[in-house]
Amino acid sequence: MNKKSISFEQYFNADEKKYIKALMETSLDEDIGSGDVTTQATIPGKTVATGRLLAKQEGVVCGLSLISIIFKLRTRKAQIKLLAKDGDFIKPGMVLAEITSPAAALLEVERVVLNYIQRLSGIATLTRQYVDLVKDTHAAILDTRKTTPLLRFLEKYAVACGGGTNHRFGLYDQVLIKDNHIDVAGGIDEAIRRVRNKSPEMMIEVEARTFDEVKRAVQMLPDIILLDNMTTSEMKKCVQYVDGRCQLEASGGVNLKTVHKIALTGVNRISIGALTHSAPSVDLSLKVVMKPVKNG
């Protein structure tokens, strides 16, 4: 499944936006609890301050639209000015957003804002690195379901912001017949046959661990064959044999050093769990001052 736009408003549907808002509320509850005891003791209630979201390293920013969602859960008086957009390449020292707000609210939400934007920007940044490495090929870079529990919508959005393509969002929106399904069902042929009988409208992807399994799978003409942990020479052999009858997806053993060589085998898709389970966060900071300041 691929959602093409990287605009937050267009990417997420109404139900997903409600989910994200509830997630932000839960995150604030986790951090603030019964109250920010430090802020309550040190900051007079009517104090207004401005916070500047600053980049401290290069990367691809993602999650800026969450700032407004998070602040609205604490105050209606925040004035938010975004100076970058999701998907932009950022450099150290860039001001990404400026928020003028009651100081208490600004300090209360600071960590939640940073946690989300740093995490999502890390995923977008790593994805962009992979996408750039295969830009001279026809292979698309895909994510997987190896996401942080409850953050899948946002993490897959970050992949899209980095130029990647979203794989299925869950067990409900695409068939992926994996090795365990095949073993229990009694073989690739039988597994595909059962899926077609049960859900004829669904796109079918099937995992193949050997060239012989690819030969059996292609006779059933699934939409996609997943080449699981194959060498690049094995992938090339499969690409030549399948000859465009199905899309081929490579998975397993993919990293920044191997992805270009894998793409050159001629596979259509490369799925990478590391995009979401191993991306380092991008370093950002929220610098608070006592009066509004202008960017630049």
Q: Would you name the residues annotated as active-site residues?
A: 111, 146, 178, 207, 228
Tokens of 89: 């390449």
Give the residue carrying structure tokens 């707000």: 101
CA distance 37 to 39: 6
CA distance 139 to 150: 29
CA distance 158 to 164: 9
Q: Is 93 exposed, middle or buried (0-12, 13-18, 19+ CB in 10 A)?
A: exposed
Q: Apex CA 221: angle with CA 219 and CA 224, to 5°?
A: 125
Distances (CA, A) of 29 to 25, 32, 108: 6, 5, 10
Q: Is the separation of the CB atoms in 174 and 139 below 8 Å?
A: no
CA distance 185 to 175: 14
Q: Is 278 helix (H, G, I), strand (E, B) or coil?
A: coil
SS (H, E, C) 246-258: CEEEEECCCCCCC
Q: Tell me, what amino acid is at 115? A: N
- Long-range contacts made by residues 189-198, C-beta under 8 angstroms, separation at least 24? 189/216, 189/219, 189/220, 192/217, 192/220, 192/222, 193/220
